[in-house]
Chain A
Amino acid sequence: KQEVTQIPAALSVPEGENLVLNCSFTDSAIYNLQWFRQDPGKGLTSLLLIQSSQREQTSGRLNASLDKSSGRSTLYIAASQPGDSATYLCTNAGNNRKLIWGLGTSLAVNP
């Protein structure tokens, strides 16, 4: 059974730091891997999607990488800002297209 694990569960950093969020998954047969952001009491916002044939994707200060052989993805946030405070969720779609979700990393960026 596919499982997705996110480490750390919570992270608190001062503004301006570069940081890395980790996601590991047990099944390397993936369709795509996505990173989402969720603000308290809100829905989820798609940040980056990496297809199975790709190694990384970038959007602004965000960069996500995918290593299928090791079953890992990382989300890199450059020059963090207080507005980046949210829960970040990693999800892995297997070949049946059903998404399996991690529990998320709760990020607090302090001014």
Chain B
Amino acid sequence: DAGITQSPRHKVTETGTPVTLRCHQTENHRYMYWYRQDPGHGLRLIHYSYGVKDTDKGEVSDGYSVSRSKTEDFLLTLESATSSQTSVYFCAISGQGAGQPQHFGDGTRLSIL
């Protein structure tokens, strides 16, 4: 299995608090992604990174920010969490080239009360 670790795996917090999710990889892959998965919506891309300090928005980026200061770490921050951000968050990585599949972490289940 690809070396991807998401932390925390579960988190419960209150509306208005900041939350940071971490994705750590040991594969030295260039591309890293943050998705959320919700019933009826499937997987939706929040942000992605194509290198250290190089990031871009996905389709549901409002309310989220990301940072990538090292190849191996990609952080997702909810500046002020809202109940609509309750979801399962997945990190994925991929190498460069059309033949490189995405590999996923085990997910973080985030509940915002």
Q: Interface on A for B, CB 8 Å cutoff?
A: 31-32, 34, 36, 42-46, 49, 51-52, 89, 91, 97-99, 101-104
Q: How large is the interface on B (under 10, 10 to 19, 20 to 34, 35 or more residues)?
A: 20 to 34
- Give A66 to B92 CA distance when docked, in angstroms: 23
* 0/1 string, B5-40, CB within 8 A of A gives 1: 000000000000000000000000001010000001
- Give A91 to B43 CA distance when docked, in angstroms: 10
- Give A101 to B60 CA distance when docked, in angstroms: 13
- Give A23 to B42 CA distance when docked, in angstroms: 14
- Contact of B40 with A103 in the complex, beta carbons under 8 Å: yes
Nearest CB of B to A31, in Å: 6
Pick the contact of A99: B45, B98, B106, B107 (CB < 8 A): B45
Looking across the interface, which residue of chain B has its beta carbon closest to that of A34? B101
In the complex, 11 of the A-B residue pairs with CB atoms within 8 angstroms, ordered by the A residue number, are A42-B107, A43-B90, A43-B104, A43-B105, A49-B99, A49-B100, A51-B98, A91-B43, A97-B31, A98-B58, A98-B59
